Amino acid sequence: MPPQRPWWLPRRNHVILTSQFLHGEQVAKSACETLLPLLPEGPFRQAMATQIADEARHVEAYARYLARIGDIAPPRPLLVQALGHIQDWRGSAVGLVLATHVVLESEALAIQQELARDFPCPVMQQISRLSARDEGRHLALGRVLLHAAALQAQQIEVRLELHRRLRCLWRDCAAAAAADHGLAFARAAPEARLETGWRRLQARFRRVGLIGAGEDSLFAEASA
């Protein structure tokens, strides 16, 4: 079945939009490769190696799709900047787990679900559904890793610094995603999407213990 470009989407926008998914998967793969040697030998490292293989498969799926529509656009500068945040990380593995499995994977899953619903190309929808299945498994791995790390037991100063750096990473990823959504859907409201996405991410931070009970206002003030 050939790709089907929506009638309302110019071909160039189709290429740019799809290319960002490919580059996003490459960022996720690179982030996991950075994290892999920081994990202890055993099940966690084996699971991360499986995730890297998943991300490589996603990259290949988008590459094949783009080959069929005839072009690949360069990554958005904000996406490159997001990768730089991860590659420059010099802290503990916990920060990278939060970056890869709470920020990147959760945003990827939300985008995949939205794309599968709104983008009327059967080939793209199939890629999105298969990728979303993997992303859900990756999120589960992140929860196990963070539970093992006892994140909430870490000092508040450490958690505040992690939160600050993760906000910078998320801002770059979310701004790039909002621009791509606006490229495809004229009804997009970037400010509202960013606000909703940040609230969703804050809830995840609370669930994994980065933000403890009664600390919402403290973290809100620190990230203002």
More confident: 196 or 207: 207
Task: Report how far residue 69's alpha carbon sits from residue 1's, in angstroms, rounded to the nearest whole number.
Answer: 13
Is residue 4 domain-resident?
Answer: no
Query: pTM to 2 decimals?
Result: 0.85
- The pLDDT of residue 189 is 52
More confident: 3 or 119: 3
| Among candidate residues 100, 119, 94, the one with its CA nearest the CA of residue 24 | 100
Q: How many domains are contained in the chain? A: 1
Q: Does the pLDDT at position 186 exceed 70?
A: no
Task: Report how far residue 141's alpha carbon sits from residue 135's, in angstroms, rounded to the nearest whole number.
Answer: 10
* Domain range for 118: 11-222
Is residue 138 domain-resident?
Answer: yes
Is residue 25 domain-resident?
Answer: yes
| Least reliable range by pLDDT among 7-11, 174-178, 216-220 | 174-178
- The pLDDT of residue 59 is 95
Could you tell me the CATH number of the domain that includes residue 16?
Answer: 1.20.1260.10
Is residue 2 domain-resident?
Answer: no
Task: Report how far residue 35's alpha carbon sits from residue 29's, in angstroms, rounded to the nearest whole number.
Answer: 10
Is residue 203 domain-resident?
Answer: yes
Is residue 1 domain-resident?
Answer: no
Is residue 216 domain-resident?
Answer: yes
Is residue 53 domain-resident?
Answer: yes
What is the enclosing helix (H) or strand (E) of 5? none
Task: Report how far residue 60's alpha carbon sits from residue 3's, in angstroms, rounded to the nearest whole number.
Answer: 16
Identify the burial level of 1 via C-beta atoms within 10 angstroms of its C-beta, where 0-12 means exposed, 13-18 middle and 19 or more buried.
exposed
